[in-house]
Structure 1
């Protein structure tokens, strides 16, 4: 499991709870800001430590570098909890949240591209997503092969894109803290009407930041993106912090060196999507010595044709194949 620890001031966390004003409807404005369950306050009451999972490092991709020369037992993923909820996302739903009025500028065309990718990530045209169906919840801790047991991830028969929200009533923070990003996931849950735990057992909120912004210190924090969970009055929420990766230039966060500006954000978001599906409330889901399903395969990207276009999908670890794969 790749884990990053960072510190934010208590004042920043308090501010996160106050930025709801002006962010859309009265329902969002009144929504309580969620707090990261991995956070804590030191004895002095000054510092909050957030733990984030599934972090894809900017330097993690090396073009042309080999994957594991030989697959070993260290690569095998096993489930970390026998729980029947929050281990995986059996019927995934993705909610894209384009945060802030800064989305009036989208020079790389990220917003339409991500929507097109998720609109095509289903059915017979999507052989990449079928890798996920071998993983399940409701089986004994330490299980590495679900077989017919447990509740498996289901391959979507229709688009997993549950909704799109341009939250552009006001500007997003230029340097959003982790707590503010988590709060935006809570606002999104309210916006989409997912106000009980039931729909949030499969909903993942992808908070996409606009060009020129620096969510959680991006890019100086060294990550392409990360996913995590947070708590709210709507239950636990799974969410992703997805920065505007094209700001790093072509070739960042992907193994491809062909100059295509959108490859890095597609590769990164499919990394985070798959890790959220298989480790929904980190880290009780599927993990191995080298991390989650995407962490194991950061040196494998493939252009995969879907019904809505061809996209850079990152390789995923398959226990069934005992290898990284880009199709099931």
Structure 2
């Protein structure tokens, strides 16, 4: 696991209007503090030096970028048939000024099939092979590229307000609540389910944005087994340019880049960190300076580059 620093951040409270947030200048900040148990922290960033690289461009690489599997286990290493459950947490979702909820649903509805060449990058990774393996070949159980949308469910849990400053434990508890809501009450369905807990505008889950991350993923132990989940804040509250290398002013780019980063890392390091990691971290950590607009059947979205062992570089298509 690599805890990744952010370079610059809006440091807004998320209570301002999006227009005001967009006008807020980015202030320099130090590295984000390491958060024990949190994995794949995507940093809030946009610096003058950070620019999107051409899709699948060769990257200058440090030694050790190759991903290797951390365990010979036959479950919990990867998610062989990914299923995503979007959880829009709290009555605060009566306000969604950037249109995050429909955007995330549309993005996942398009992440499958032949048009989604980004998702095929993950098919080279597997579980059930020797610890330290860097190439699965035909061995093990591989991640299967979805033939239909991986979006298995959407829930607006709006019966009460979510905490304004939710702790990591409260985010994990919401993921457990979601597992019950969707009927995933044994370990078997939860070997492929990932619960994306999306917080509303103006809220600060685990200290966002002052803690310097865009999102993180982890797992929690529950009466339903181990559950993989993501803490996904309302990234547009950081303003345009937060959590993406694009500088075109599009507010939704950052949350799309962030969630594709966390989605891919959950698929390939399901119960961190027994999955696939390299010298630069997980599959998304190594490629956080590559964003690319990719056309899916449901629209065009900012998908973050992923590390491909087979190509020995960051890529946006398999």
Q: Specify every segment of 5 or more residues in structure 2 that has no aligned partner in the other structure, as ranges.
A: 5-34
Query: For 1:53 and 1:199, how far apart are their aligned partners in 2?
Result: 22
1:294 aligns with 2:262: no
Deviation per residue, 1:138-175 (Å, 9 max, x gap): 00000000000000000000000010000000000000
Following the alignment from structure 1 to structure 2, what is the Cα–Cα distance between the partners of residues 273 and 316? Answer: 11
> What is the aligned partner in structure 1 of residue 51 from structure 2?
64
CA contact (8 A) 1:60 1:299 kept: no
Distance 1:168 1:69 in 2: 44
Structure 1: gaps spanning 5 or more residues: 5-48
Asked if residue 55 in structure 1 is aligned to residue 45 in structure 2, the reply is: no
How big is each residue's C-alpha offset from its partner over 1:89-110, in whole Å with a ceiling of 9 and x where there is no partner?
A: 0000000000000000000000
Deviation, 1:60, is 7.5
Q: What's the counterpart of residue 314 of structure 1?
A: 304
SS of 1:259's partner is coil
Structure 1 SS opposite 2:172: helix
Structure 2-normalised TM-score? 0.87
Give the Cα–Cα distance (whole angstroms) in 2 for the partners of residues 111 and 294 of structure 1.
23
TM-score by length of 1: 0.84
Q: Deviations over 1:47-97 (max 9, x none)?
A: xx8420011111387532778753354110000000000000000000000
**How many residues in Structure 1 have an aligned counterpart in Structure 2?**
284
SS of equivalent residue, structure 1 residue 159: coil
The question of 1:174 aligning with 2:174 is answered no
Secondary structure in structure 1 of the residue aligned to 2:135:
coil
Match of 2:236 among 243, 246, 250: 246
Q: Distance in 1 between matches of 2:62 and 2:245?
A: 23
Say what the alpha-carbon RMSD is for the aligned residues. Answer: 1.5
Q: Equivalents in 2 of 1:63, 1:222: separation in Å?
A: 16
Instruction: Give the counterpart of 2:73 among 80, 83, 86.
Output: 83
Contact 2:45 2:241 in 1 (8 A): no
CA distance in 2, matches of 1:3, 1:193: 33
Conserved in 2, the CA contact under 8 Å of 1:315 and 1:325?
yes
SS in 2 for 1:51: coil
Partners of 1:60 and 1:298 within 8 A in 2: no
- Give the direction of change, closer, same or farther, for the CA distance of 1:127–1:65 in structure 2 (3 Å limit): closer
How has the CA–CA distance of structure 1 residues 54 and 60 changed in structure 2, closer, same or farther, with 3 Å as cutoff? farther
Task: Name the CA distance, whole Å, in 2 between partners of 1:120 and 1:65.
Answer: 22
* Whole-angstrom distance in 1 between the partners of 2:307 and 2:237: 28
Deviations 1:256-308 (A, max 9, x none): 00010100000000000000000000000000011000000000000000000
- Report if aligned partners of 2:80, 2:141 keep a CA contact under 8 Å in 1: yes
1:183-230 CA-partner distances (Å, limit 9, x unpaired): 000000000000000000000000000000000000011100000000
Structure 2 counterpart of 1:108: 98
